[in-house]
Amino acid sequence: MLRAYQCTQYIFAHKFESLKKFFPIFDWLPNYRKSYLAGDISAGITVGIMLIPQGMAYAMIAGLPPVFGLYAALLPQVIYAIMGTSRQLAIGPVAMDSLIIASGLGALSLSGINEYISMAIFLALFVGIIQVLMGFLKMGFLVNFLSKPVISGFTSAAALIIGITQLKHLLGITVSSNKTLPIIKQTLAQLDQINPVAVAVGLAGIGIMLLIKRISSQIPAAIVVVIFGISLAYFTPLTNYGLILVGKIPDGLPSFGVPSVPWEDLGQLFTLALAMSLIAFMEVVSIGKALEEKVKSNTINPNQELIALGTGNIVGSFFQCYPTTAGFSRTAVNFQAGAKTGVAAFISASLVALTLLFLTPVFYYLPNAILASIIMLAITSLIDLNYPKELYKNQKDEFLLLIATFLITLFVGIQEGIILGVLFSLLLMVYRTSKPHMAVLGQIKGTTYFKNINRFATDIIDRKDILVVRFDAQLFFGNKDYFYKELKKHIKAKGPELKTIIINAEAINYVDSSAIYILKYLILELRQKEITLMIAAATGPTRDILFKTGVTELLGAENLFVRVVEAVEFIDGVHPRTEIEDRVSRQKF
């Protein structure tokens, strides 16, 4: 009986641990402290207040009615609080994803606003399914292919595009395009039709927010400006002078519905959904990692983040949500306001729900110019000028990668910018690995160290009979010819006195079949010239490859050494091989 009870306890504990893996709320909620509550309430209310105007503004960027921004601020952040591995991330609609939706769906031939809304909601389902699948297949590593120059160039360009798309609301004009150049052309063509009232209201909104931020960052500047804009439109006759308002917003919580689109449109949405899945995941991980440094913890699990984010998008899509992810500014506010757990997200969602139930009639009088001013100020934090300056000074090739991504995103398209940016970064990586650093080493006088002769020219013993080289990369089909040509160049420079070549293989972590062929060819070629090839400092995995492929047999196990100095001393007869050294060189380790 006791044994059965113990077995039951073990099974329950094991199942509970598995449950905590997919639902981290069961990890932190049982350990919730009373001291966390004040911070969670403060952060939840602050972010909730911030979400209301931001959500409406970002829905406007996406080309959706403002209420869909409030819908997107509900369930996804609740699901993330239950399943996410970060306790401070603020999930909801964001400017960049909204812009990608507008750009991607704007390129499709849609019949009207209802079809557009259906597509945006189905896109949340599609994105969520891709993210969940990637999470279960443990594909979180894919975010590593989004290099910092690509992210920086893409983000800065996206921020500018967002600003450009909001010019029509700030200037009170009508622009039909979502592309950068056509927007600029149409705006310039309508300069004589600018509504001074809209401009004045928008600039006043920006001015008020800047003033509030200077006074105190704790004051919710966006909600103050929203109250200012609503009061202005309600109590003054400005609407008579062409000031455009948000208008009627449906009240009540979003209704349940199964997202659907025609099968023939799935192909068109796939590229957009895949790009959004990766970008949203990149935002979550990058913000989460930045938070980890501040809270001195290591809780982010990339694969679980994909599952949490994807589940939020899937569930949200059944309640009229468009794709969501973590917001930079809201997460920063959430953290600064004292959020300790996901309870803050529950409070934020509750505040948005109360707004939908009781306060939507108030937002009828909210001017579009005010929402545009909120967006304009928000995007300034996305543009980073310092990082490109650093790259220009120190790494010109990565600077060019950043600029290329920036220009393609700005003038060609959002999806093209991120896809081509990743492609260019991979090509840059391939180019670098195809021509890695190869150093000629010499022994530093009075030591057993062998260093680059170009860095330690005055203290190096440079012998004519021995050539020591270090190849600083894996040896594979992409750089085997470069390795061979560089080695031949150094052999020629040494002259006829050269008798031995030692390859310091400490940096070679892999050798593929094409490189094995070159090594074998090199051994035979050097043997005809009566030059001995030795390999020193090879790691265990590299030695395994050399043994399995027959390179060691052709080279001779006696020409494998643990250190370069041992090879040189063996050549000079100063340090004959001991039994242990000989055994080590002949065995795989």
User: How crowded is the C-beta side of 303, counted as CA atoms within 13 Å?
Assistant: 10
Q: Write out the chain's pLDDT in tens, 589 residues.
A: 546 545 555 454 555 566 777 888 988 888 888 888 888 898 888 888 878 888 988 998 898 999 999 999 999 999 999 999 888 888 999 888 898 898 888 877 777 889 999 999 999 999 999 999 999 998 877 777 778 888 888 888 888 888 888 888 889 888 877 678 888 898 898 888 899 999 999 999 999 999 998 888 777 788 888 899 999 999 999 888 889 888 888 889 999 999 988 777 788 788 889 888 888 888 887 777 767 666 666 667 888 989 999 999 999 999 999 999 988 778 877 887 778 888 999 999 999 999 999 988 888 898 989 888 888 887 787 788 899 999 999 999 999 999 999 999 888 877 788 788 888 888 888 888 889 999 999 988 888 888 888 887 677 888 889 999 999 999 999 999 999 999 999 999 988 999 999 999 999 989 999 999 999 999 999 999 999 999 999 988 899 999 999 999 999 888 988 889 989 988 888 766 665 556 555 555 4
Reading the block at residue 111, the tokens are 């019949």
Within 10 angstroms of residue 395's Cβ, the number of other Cβ atoms is 13
Of 67, 94, 70, 97, nearest to 273 (Cα)? 97
User: Element (H or E) spanning 92, and its range?
Assistant: strand 91-92
Instruction: Enumerate long-range contacts of 188-196, CB under 8 Å, 24 or more apart.
Output: 195/171, 195/241, 195/242, 195/243
Write phi, then psi, for 496 (nearest 5 degrees).
-70, -15
Reading the block at residue 177, the tokens are 């395009």
> Is residue 338 within 8 Å of residue 318, measured between CB atoms?
no
> Is residue 373 within 8 Å of residue 209, measured between CB atoms?
yes
> Is residue 140 within 8 Å of residue 306, measured between CB atoms?
yes
pTM score, two decimals?
A: 0.77
Q: What is the DSSP letter of 177?
A: -
Q: How far apart are CA 525 and CA 387, in angstroms?
A: 49
Q: How far apart are CA 140 and CA 269, in angstroms?
A: 22
Reading the block at residue 262, the tokens are 């025609």
